[in-house]
């Protein structure tokens, strides 16, 4: 299912304080990027998911957020690297920005790891690729 354009516009407005936001396809939804390749949030299944890691998980848990989950052949899987944006933030730009700023550190760390992985892959001899 594609992301509802009205929801995407609303989310872009909520996070406008981060600066220019670009988007890309992610599964059947939309990934939200700042600073070029820093994916700080995604819209999947009508829910906004914020980038998270061990340093931010407790704050998301305390706010009632839940981890992204999906089905695999072996059963349900959880991806705690994406936590739901608390419902209260959907209509409160100030609160939404607090969550977006919290998500930036894990998002930047993930982008750094992804860039390094890409560089290693490009550095391998053609025969190994």
Percent of the chain at pLDDT above 70?
96
Percent of the chain at pLDDT above 90?
77
Cβ neighbour number for residue 44 with a 10 Å cutoff = 19
* Concatenated DSSP letters of 55-106: TTHHHHHHTT--EEEEEETTEEEEEEEEEEPPGGGGG-HHHHHHHHHHHHHH
pLDDT reported for residue 125: 74
Select the highest-mean-pLDDT range: 23-32, 71-80, 115-124. 23-32
- Determine the length of the chain: 129
pLDDT reported for residue 20: 96
Q: What is the pLDDT of residues 31-56, one digit of tens each?
A: 999 999 999 999 999 999 999 999 99
Mean pLDDT of 75-97: 94
pTM of the predicted structure, to 2 decimals: 0.88
Kindly list the domain boundaries of the chain, sorted by start residue. Answer: 5-128
Placement of tokens 């700080």 in the chain: 40
pLDDT at 128 over 70: no
> Could you tell me which CATH number the domain at 5-128 has?
3.30.1460.30
pLDDT at 90 over 90: yes
Q: Which helix (H) or strand (E) holds 48?
A: strand 47-51
**75 falls in which pLDDT band (50, 70, 90)?**
confident
């Amino acid at each position: 299912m594609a992301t509802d354009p009205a929801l995407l516009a609303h989310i872009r407005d909520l996070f406008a304080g981060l600066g220019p936001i670009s988007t890309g396809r992610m599964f059947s939804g939309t990934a939200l990027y700042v600073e070029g390749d820093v994916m700080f949030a995604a819209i999947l299944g009508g829910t906004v998911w914020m980038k998270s890691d061990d340093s931010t998980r407790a704050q998301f848990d305390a706010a009632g957020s839940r981890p992204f989950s999906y089905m695999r052949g072996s059963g349900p899987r959880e991806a705690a690297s994406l936590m739901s944006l608390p419902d209260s933030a959907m209509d409160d730009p100030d609160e939404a920005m607090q969550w977006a700023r919290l998500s930036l550190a894990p998002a930047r760390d993930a982008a750094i790891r992804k860039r390094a992985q890409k560089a290693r892959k490009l550095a391998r001899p053609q025969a190994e690729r």
